[in-house]
Amino acid sequence: MILMSFVSCNVEYASNLNYGYYVGIISFNKDKRESFINQYDYEGNEGNRIKFSLEGISYLGDFVPSDDSNFYFKSNDIVSTKGNSYLIEVDKYTNGYTKVNLDVEDIYKIFIDNDRIYITHSLNKLSIYNKDLSNEIKTINVDDHVVGKIYIDDDNVYIFSRNNNGNSYLNVLDKNNLEIINKFNLSKFGLYQNDMFYYNGKIYFTNYDANAKSESGKIGIYDIYTETFDYINTISNNLDKILLYEDNIYVTVRGDNSDINKDSVIRIDRKTLKSSKTEFYYNIKVFDISEDKIFILSDKYLQIYNAKDFTLLKKIEFDMEENSVISGLILYG
């Protein structure tokens, strides 16, 4: 049974959620047990500060997914281990939100595709819901664990999984009935896959393998049309997030140089395979692209880079309340 409750939220400083703002930073105050969206314009000036009387809003995927009217979050008590996840549907224009109980243990990722919403949850499940979330169309189990993002094209769903025997897979499913069309063993690429990015008929994906040498890691490439695989060797084995822009591949490395609190970004030329690395003194929470801009979110900063040459365009430093946790990023426009 799907239960829906309609709630309002408070806006401090200004009104409309969507009007005139470039980015929104989602945070959660552990003391007050309230969630917020702090909005900033392109110059880094703070505008609206929207408060939600919820015990935690955390993001689904890298950017918060949205359609023409709504943003979608997951909500749970992030300072405890009890309770189910809830899906929060936020109206872009009125600031009101709907809390939807899908009766699932945990929500991981969400993908909006026309009149349907695809959600991975509960360790190894993939579900399809209609757009208004009033009806669960179908749910399937995918091995023992679903892993990372999902991608959906005109016909298929692409989703990573792994089983308890240590094997990892790329599953190609029919997007309408979720029946398996192909299942590819990816164990030769790594223990499991962290992220995927679709670009010009190919899915690029990052792999993690604790047994690989620290200076050796693979970016996998799956050609949707030929159903064949290729790979690119990199200078690190702990690959995390990936995106592409024109001839550039960008991939993040978790805990680079044996410091778990510092990440880095490797930039690879797709034609020459020459690479360069930029080190950061913090962990990267969100790494994604919109048009020609790359967004890097940490606990203290939002940095915006030119996707063509990775030059820094803007650095926004957050003025968050004490004991607040940054959990996600919204783009308005």
Give the pLDDT confidence of 226-252 residue by residue, as tens digits. 999 999 988 787 899 999 999 999 999
At 165-177, the pLDDT tens digits run: 889 999 999 999 9
Q: If you average pLDDT over residues 54-68, what whole number do you get?
A: 70
DSSP-assigned beta bridge partners for residue 120: 109, 126
Backbone angles phi, psi at 258, to 5 degrees: 65, 15
Lowest mean pLDDT among 117-121, 139-143, 160-164, 232-236: 232-236
Distances (CA, A) of 188 to 43, 168, 192, 315: 45, 9, 10, 39
The H or E element spanning position 115 is none
Q: If you average pLDDT over residues 123-134, what whole number do you get?
A: 89
d(CA 9, CA 51) in angstroms, rounded, equals 6
Name the one residue in this structure whose structure tokens are 């979110």.
Answer: 297
DSSP-derived secondary structure letter, 332: -
The pairing of beta strand 168-174 with beta strand 97-101: unpaired
**Residue bearing the bigger pLDDT, 57 or 211:** 57
Confidence of residue 180 (pLDDT cuts 50, 70, 90): very high
Residue-wise burial string across 64-73, b where 16 or more C-beta atoms lie within 10 A, e elsewhere: bbeeeebbbb
Under DSSP, is residue 26 helix (H, G, I), strand (E, B) or coil? strand
d(CA 73, CA 60) in angstroms, rounded, equals 6
Distances (CA, A) of 181 to 64, 120, 150, 173: 29, 19, 15, 5
Confidence of residue 11 (pLDDT cuts 50, 70, 90): very low
Q: If you average pLDDT over residues 137-149, what whole number do you get?
A: 91
Q: If you average pLDDT over residues 146-154, what whole number do you get?
A: 89
d(CA 62, CA 151) in angstroms, rounded, equals 13
d(CA 277, CA 267) in angstroms, rounded, equals 6
For the cut 80, the answer to whether the pLDDT of residue 3 exceeds it is: no
Confidence of residue 318 (pLDDT cuts 50, 70, 90): confident
For the cut 60, the answer to whether the pLDDT of residue 13 exceeds it is: no
d(CA 140, CA 226) in angstroms, rounded, equals 27
**Average of per-residue pLDDT values in the chain:** 83
Model pLDDT, residue 56: 73
Confidence of residue 147 (pLDDT cuts 50, 70, 90): confident
What percent of the chain has a predicted confidence (pLDDT) above 90? 41
Model pLDDT, residue 134: 79
At 26-42, the pLDDT tens digits run: 888 888 888 888 888 77
How crowded is residue 292: how many other Cβ atoms within 10 Å of its Cβ? 12
Lowest mean pLDDT among 192-196, 218-222, 235-239, 260-264: 235-239
Model pLDDT, residue 204: 97
Question: CB of 106 within 8 A of CB of 124?
Answer: no
Backbone angles phi, psi at 179, to 5 degrees: -75, 145
Question: CB of 268 within 8 A of CB of 274?
Answer: yes
d(CA 113, CA 110) in angstroms, rounded, equals 10
How crowded is residue 58: how many other Cβ atoms within 10 Å of its Cβ? 18
Question: CB of 222 within 8 A of CB of 203?
Answer: yes
**Residue bearing the bigger pLDDT, 208 or 248:** 248
For the cut 90, the answer to whether the pLDDT of residue 66 exceeds it is: no
Model pLDDT, residue 14: 35
Confidence of residue 197 (pLDDT cuts 50, 70, 90): very high
Residue 272 CA neighbour count, 13 Å, CB half: 5
Question: CB of 38 within 8 A of CB of 27?
Answer: yes
What percent of the chain has a predicted confidence (pLDDT) above 70? 85
Q: If you average pLDDT over residues 178-197, what whole number do you get?
A: 91
Model pLDDT, residue 210: 61
Backbone angles phi, psi at 257, to 5 degrees: 55, 40
Gyration radius (Cα) of the chain, Å: 20
Model pLDDT, residue 183: 97
Is the overall model pTM greater than 0.75, yes or no? yes
Model pLDDT, residue 19: 44
DSSP-assigned beta bridge partners for residue 271: none
d(CA 214, CA 223) in angstroms, rounded, equals 27
Lowest mean pLDDT among 105-114, 149-158, 206-215: 206-215
The pairing of beta strand 180-185 with beta strand 168-174: antiparallel
Confidence of residue 214 (pLDDT cuts 50, 70, 90): low
